[in-house]
Structure 1
């Protein structure tokens, strides 16, 4: 297994079905903070459903269509990042993230998402990286901006959560833009 050191005792590594117990314990701590933003958080409420959520991403990884990574802080799973979608033929991917309160305020999501952007662009040849978030998720919007993304537009009332429709902002970063940004930051 590999791990990417994120600094400050944190590391990024694959999150797989065999880790369902650890994932469920993490979600139980994080549920209130991440449920409004991450659709599968409210569906992963027991060991079987947590394993099913992880298996979905394992299946996507096997098809080269998505991936899931956890963020561990001092040995405890506190969040993660994922390729919600990944399409090398089209040159497109979407990145998603989540983090429980114990990991917030340390820049972990920005560093982890930056690793995914860098790998997608430099290694896999992805042309466009997307980031989708609700306009009221200021932490997510801030990460998109720190990664150098631009707001493309808003999908009006496309996200249903607890019976209420919410807008979704679509942010993006092009490979050429990342090359310019990462050259200046030593990525």
Structure 2
């Protein structure tokens, strides 16, 4: 199994696979309210069967090269993750995203993990454009997009219904040549 260090704090990035379903469910349960403020992951991972279904869906996406999901472990505990919700290698586009439980907030874990997967997508898979779609009220996720060097493309007004509330969605992106330039500049 592959595991990649995310720094000196013991954080690691690994693929999340169907056999992690119980651990994934326990993680979501620990942060359900926090995780579910802006994204539907907490609703989708309602029980063990649903947890397995979500991870099987991403295993299928990995097998067809249309998405990926990775967990972030800190001191041996799953605390969050990053993913490519969509990937279209032929078109050279991907949509990245993240989630985190409250105990792991403020440690830079998502930014470090997102850098790893975006770098892989650009350098290894030839992805030209990586998007980051985020509810306008999700300031922490917007801050990650900024730290990754993404640019705000625009706002999709009232396009996302979540828990009975319409949210605006900000679309941030980085292009491959911009990503490489950021890497060369040490950003």
Distance in 2 between residues matched to 1:180 and 1:62, nearest whole Å: 31
After TM superposition, the runs of 4+ consecutive aligned structure 1 residues lying more than 6 A away are: none
Shift of 1:121: 0.5
User: In structure 2, how many angstroms separate the alpha carbons of the residues matched to 1:70 and 1:134?
Assistant: 22
Structure 1, unpaired ranges of 5+: none
Which residue of structure 2 lines up, in the alignment, with residue 6 of structure 1? Answer: 6
Alignment partners' CA distance in 1, 2:42 and 2:137: 18
In structure 1, the partner of 2:43 is 42
Q: Which moved more, 1:159-168 or 1:77-86?
A: 159-168
- Normalising by the residue count of structure 1, what TM-score does the alignment of the two structures yield? 0.97
**1:99 match:** 100
- Deviations for 1:114-163, whole angstroms, at most 9, x for unmatched residues? 00110000111100000000111000000000000000001111111111
CA offset digits 1:24-79 (Å, max 9, x no partner): 00000011111122213112121101111111111111110000000000000000
Q: Which residue of 2 aligns with 1:20?
A: 21
Q: What is the rounded CA distance, in whole Å, between the counterparts of 1:120 and 1:60 in structure 2?
A: 14
Q: What CA distance in whole angstroms lies between the structure 2 residues aligned with 1:58 and 1:183?
A: 33
How far the C-alpha of 1:84 sits from its partner, in A, is 0.5
Matched position secondary structure for 1:110: helix
Aligned counterparts of 1:10 and 1:75: Cα–Cα separation in 2: 8
1:33 aligns with 2:54: no
Q: For 2:163 and 2:124, locate their aligned partners in 1 and report how far apart those are by CA, in whole Å.
A: 39
Q: How does 1:1-187 map to 2 (within 5 A)?
A: 1-7=1-7, 8-185=9-186
Distance (whole Å) between structure 2 residues aligned to residue 12 and residue 37 of structure 1: 23
